[in-house]
Structure 1
Amino acid sequence: MSPEEAIALAVFLGVYAFIITERIHRTVAAMVGASLILIVGIIPWEKVPEYLDLETLLLLAGMMVIVNVSRESGLFEYIAIKTAKLSNGNPMKVLLLFSVVTAVVSAFLDNVTTVLLLTPMLLYITKRMDVNPIPFLLAEIFASNIGGTATLIGDPPNIMIGSAAGLSFNEFLENMGPIAVANIFLTIAVVYLAYRNSIKVTPSKRKEIERVILSMDEEDAIRDWELFRKSVIVILAIGAGFFLHDTIGVKPAVIALFGASVMLLWSGVSPERALEKVEWATLFFFGGLFLIVGALVETGVIDAVAGKIMELIHSEAQAIFVISWFSAVSSAIVDNIPLTATMIPLIKAMGSSVNTYPLWWALSLGACLGGNGTAIGASANVVVLGIAHREGIKITFGEFLKVGALIMVSTVALGSLMLWVRYGL
């Protein structure tokens, strides 16, 4: 191993260790690691744009601005109350509808934003219904991670994969959409079976719940009607742009930035106020990580690892199962963003031996769904459990694991089977 390879690998392992142990903030770890890589000169300065994935960074930034402006109107609380009213006082329908709405919203917003918007409303509704909130909170967590698999912009790993492999918004919908739909209903069934006694209520109790829910007025959630209408129009236009980006020849990142610009211009919201809520720490974390993994590519470490893996894998079918399950188990333990950043160049290096197209979907499947396995497997999990804890609702690591591990295994098994039927036979 050359000195450059040794340094690149040491920096990567050191940063990964800090990310896992959380001894220092992950953004700080990534920035320090990237700085060392550049100081030593492992990545020449002129090659930095090659490894710094601007498409991913700009797409994330644009969507963050759109969400930050839209949430001020009360749009997402409005959706939550409308969803509750459709249940007609039936807790099982609340579980079903909130899971579906969470999955759909997570397909277009990042998971953390989705649960931050919907969890307080879900807790309010379950409190008014006087039912155990735990199955509803768990279903929301699982649905947010599953919904994120369906689209190019649903979860950061998908944005990274789409940018690296040149995959379109519609390709994600075509390949991952059916898997997400099948998995959301499988998840609802598992949660219902695990907590069926907590969800059932008597007919008289159901009527009381229905009265409580119908007393809520979704229009009271709207804090700014003008901004509400503008937010709906811009979000729908952005969605249409993502669907048509292949046809019109415009990158998703450009569509997101244009949507953010229109939102700021049309809404009149102060750019300082909108931009101060952008998750800059997340963006710098991505940037640092891209350079750290880029050093492994630049020095040839990734090519060497890919060669070893290909000695064990002899078909696309094998590769689909290995990548999906390895990614899922790893994502249940460590952050799926550095995992994805590491796997992308690995899959690219495997391109000389197998068709990598189905492997991108296997990586998306495992990286996004593995987070359901443990309480710390995804950021959305930590956020929801934190909000619940502040409200006096304790969900232990063990209780989460009992249901989460079953959800992870069943959804990854179903998803990898669907990929195998489509690409491996």
Structure 2
Amino acid sequence: MEQEIIAIVIFVVVIGAIMTEKVHRAAAALAGTVALLLTGVLTFDEAVSYIDFNTLGVLVGMMMFVAVVKHSGLFEYVSIKSAKMAHGDPWKIMVMFMIITAFCSAFLDNVTTVLLMGPMTLTIGKMLKINPVPILLGQIFASNIGGTMTLIGDPPNIMIGSAAGLDFLDFVENTGVACIIGLIAVIFFMKFAYKKKLLADQDAIKDVMELDESKAITDRRLLHESVVMIALVIVAFILHGHFGIQTATVALTAAAIMMVIGGQDIDEVVGDVEWPTLVFFTGLFIVVGGMVKTGVIKQLATLIMQASGGHLVATMMILLWASAFLSAILDNIPFVATLIPLILAMGQQGMDITPLWWAISLGACLGGNGTQIGASANVVLSGISGRHGYPISFNDYTKVGMPVMLITVFIAMIFLLLKYQVGLPI
């Protein structure tokens, strides 16, 4: 009991420090790790065991991959081409990038998607002389919504699919429908929230329309290599499960190949890695690990299941909303891992648990949009934005992210009720 209280207190203090921004989030997470070690809640080996090295590997690999690719001029080329296609209208660019991000995130790791899209957004912001933060936020939201659509889009979906025997099409027919409607709603919300900020200077638009995108290419050999490698990386991310290869292996392999053939300064490439972001993730994995080890996460899951009293619709709604709010501040992977055996046990008692799988999938994945620490893509793109002179504070993010989460989860709730309570064939 004493260790449970210590783990909870440390977690609350770390989250509080991140929210108030009195301490850098990386320092807060690292301090929480040290506190767990000093109080004996975790041993060093236990702490290391809770670090998701696959996620860290994807982050490091794709950051180095992008650091090499950017020297080809590819991102500038695509940015100018996109801006000209949208006639320099930031709103149209946002919509275009959100749709592309959501589609890619349905098949790729969310972090990979935003790492590829982020540099283009920053370039467009510089060209049009606008603040790129609204477009970056749109990409974050779209990446988490897109990742919810498919079996391979987000780790919790992979876990749920494996435990429940659900396939790719099952997810498309259930989470996919709710997410497409949710994405459309979020696009309109972003228009409402940022309609006054998504305005470009007419002179800047004129200058962009006169640019020759072909002149943005600085290294044609590297450009051709980059395009081929990006295509191979996408295919590898989609098929990695069939070959038993982890996503980190794909990302690190791509980075190694590009570093060898790219001929760039390795010190510069390594320097482009967002090391504070990696330190933050490492610390946060361990802080949440303290909650897992002491049984706090399991107790939360059990309380949620007990609160429904065994009623199917009540259980579905409680799981949906509880998963969403908890996933906004907790890593959704250990939370979903704890819920899975509880739901399977309810199925063995005769309950139709099919709707419950969709409730935790939609809740846990869409809940990631709620706060800046709710999902990996949020932290990564916020860090990149800050590094380029456009800081996104925890509170500024939450003011937009929480309404987005509420909108999409509400749509998911209506969808689940219509399909599994009313019985509409949707």
Pairwise TM-score range, normalised by the shorter structure: 0.7 to 0.9
State the partner residue of 1:25. Answer: 24
State the partner residue of 1:362. Answer: 362
Give, as a single letter, the amino acid of the residue that structure 2 aligns with 1:31. L
**Aligned counterpart for 1:312 among listed residues 307, 310, 317:** 307
Q: 1:161 to 1:68 in 2, by over 3 A?
A: farther
Q: 1:177 to 1:383 in 2, by over 3 A?
A: farther
Greater displacement, 352-361 / 247-256? 352-361
Contact 2:30/2:283 (CA < 8 Å) preserved in 1? yes
Greater displacement, 312-321 / 218-227? 312-321
State the partner residue of 2:80. Answer: 81
Q: 1:274 to 1:195 in 2, by over 3 A?
A: closer
Contact 1:33/1:292 (CA < 8 Å) preserved in 2? yes
Contact 2:325/2:370 (CA < 8 Å) preserved in 1? yes
State the partner residue of 2:410. Answer: 413
Looking at structure 1, the residues matched to 56 and 261 of structure 2 have their Cα atoms a distance apart, in angstroms, of 24
Looking at structure 1, the residues matched to 59 and 360 of structure 2 have their Cα atoms a distance apart, in angstroms, of 20
Greater displacement, 48-57 / 105-114? 105-114
State the partner residue of 2:350. Answer: none
State the partner residue of 1:130. Answer: none
TM-score by length of 2: 0.73
1:141 correspondence with 2:137: yes
Q: 1:159 to 1:320 in 2, by over 3 A?
A: same
1:151 correspondence with 2:147: yes
Looking at structure 2, the residues matched to 296 and 195 of structure 1 have their Cα atoms a distance apart, in angstroms, of 38
State the partner residue of 2:287. Answer: 292
Q: How far off its partner does 1:231 sit?
A: 1.6
State the partner residue of 2:125. Answer: 123
Give ranges in structure 2 of 5+ residues lacking alignment.
348-352
State the partner residue of 1:276. Answer: 271
Give percent identity, aligned residues only.
26
Q: 1:325 to 1:42 in 2, by over 3 A?
A: same
State the partner residue of 1:393. Answer: none
| Secondary structure in structure 2 of the residue aligned to 1:24 | coil
Contact 2:277/2:383 (CA < 8 Å) preserved in 1? no
Describe how 1:329-368 pairs up with structure 2 within 5 A.
336=328, 338=330, 340=332, 343-344=335-336, 346-347=338-339, 350-351=342-343, 352-353=345-346, 357-368=357-368
Looking at structure 1, the residues matched to 167 and 141 of structure 2 have their Cα atoms a distance apart, in angstroms, of 18
Q: 1:267 to 1:298 in 2, by over 3 A?
A: same
Contact 1:369/1:411 (CA < 8 Å) preserved in 2? no
| Secondary structure in structure 2 of the residue aligned to 1:308 | helix
| Secondary structure in structure 2 of the residue aligned to 1:243 | helix
Looking at structure 2, the residues matched to 309 and 19 of structure 1 have their Cα atoms a distance apart, in angstroms, of 26
Contact 1:80/1:118 (CA < 8 Å) preserved in 2? yes
Contact 2:369/2:378 (CA < 8 Å) preserved in 1? no
Looking at structure 2, the residues matched to 18 and 311 of structure 1 have their Cα atoms a distance apart, in angstroms, of 32
| Secondary structure in structure 2 of the residue aligned to 1:23 | coil
| Secondary structure in structure 2 of the residue aligned to 1:223 | coil
Deviations 1:231-260 (A, max 9, x none): 221121111011111222211121112111
Looking at structure 2, the residues matched to 297 and 91 of structure 1 have their Cα atoms a distance apart, in angstroms, of 43
**Aligned counterpart for 1:265 among listed residues 245, 260, 282:** 260
Contact 1:115/1:141 (CA < 8 Å) preserved in 2? no
Contact 2:324/2:368 (CA < 8 Å) preserved in 1? yes
Q: 1:271 to 1:299 in 2, by over 3 A?
A: same
Give ranges in structure 1 of 5+ residues lacking alignment.
128-132, 391-396
Give, as a single letter, the amino acid of the residue that structure 2 aligns with 1:412. V
Contact 1:34/1:288 (CA < 8 Å) preserved in 2? yes
Greater displacement, 379-388 / 81-90? 379-388
Give, as a single letter, the amino acid of the residue that structure 1 aligns with 2:29. A
Describe how 1:127-276 pairs up with structure 2 within 5 A.
138=134, 141-151=137-147, 161=156, 174=172, 179-192=178-191, 213-276=208-271
Q: 1:58 to 1:416 in 2, by over 3 A?
A: farther
Greater displacement, 57-66 / 191-200? 191-200
Deviations 1:336-384 (A, max 9, x none): 4645477446535744446674355224433333249xxxx95557976
Contact 1:340/1:363 (CA < 8 Å) preserved in 2? no
Deviations 1:193-223 (A, max 9, x none): 778899999xxx99x9997554221122223
Q: 1:126 to 1:243 in 2, by over 3 A?
A: same
Greater displacement, 137-146 / 213-222? 137-146
State the partner residue of 1:394. Answer: none
Looking at structure 1, the residues matched to 24 and 91 of structure 2 have their Cα atoms a distance apart, in angstroms, of 40
Contact 1:58/1:253 (CA < 8 Å) preserved in 2? yes
TM-score by length of 1: 0.73
